[in-house]
Every structure is written in C-alpha cells, then in structure tokens.
C-alpha cells in the first residue's frame, strides 16, 4: 500500500486491512521519492493515495471499505 501518515483514507484502509488480518507492505510516499513517482504514474499524473496493489497486478486507488472488501473477496484473501 502506497500511503502517507497524514492521509485519512490511508488510515481508514489500514484499519480495515488490520481488522481483517490481511498482511500488507506499507510504502510511505513522503519518505520514498521513487514511490511517490510510481503513485503519480499509476494514477495518470495524480498523487492520489492510498494506492493498494494486489498480487494479480491490479490496484485500487482511494477505495471505499466496500470496494476494498470486495476486491479481497474476489482474490480469496478473505
């Protein structure tokens, strides 16, 4: 998950993943310029976070809890 400490949507997504016991790697876009550049590339020039990458190569940007849960179900993670 590409994230930043100041991001409320990031905190919400982390809370959901934690509550579902889903393991994830947190990448701080403030501390890692390469990560920030990747987020911009993924989002067509926008620095929208969180960006949550999945093992199937897909991603969600700023997902609602409902959309994130559905994606996790689709991938049989939960």
For the full predicted model, state whether its pTM sits above 0.75: yes
Spans in the chain with pLDDT lower than 70:
none
Domain boundaries of the chain, sorted by first residue: 2-74
Could you tell me which of 40, 59, 62 has the C-alpha nearest to residue 49?
62
Torsional class of 32: left (φ above 0), alpha (ψ -120 to 50), beta (otherwise): beta
Question: In the chain, where do the E strands start and end?
Answer: 2-3, 27-28, 51-53, 59-61
In angstroms, what CA-CA distances link 54 with 6, 13, 68? 23, 14, 11
pLDDT digits over 56-78, tens only? 999 999 999 999 999 999 999 99
The CATH T-level fold of domain 2-74 is Glutaredoxin (3.40.30)
């Amino acid at each position: 998950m590409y994230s930043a400490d100041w991001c409320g949507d990031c905190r919400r997504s982390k809370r959901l993943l934690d509550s579902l016991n889903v393991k994830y790697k947190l990448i701080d876009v403030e501390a890692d310029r390469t990560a920030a550049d990747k987020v911009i590339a993924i989002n067509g020039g926008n620095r929208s976070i969180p960006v949550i990458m999945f093992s199937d190569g897909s991603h969600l940007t700023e997902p609602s809890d409902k959309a994130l849960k559905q994606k996790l179900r689709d991938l049989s993670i939960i």
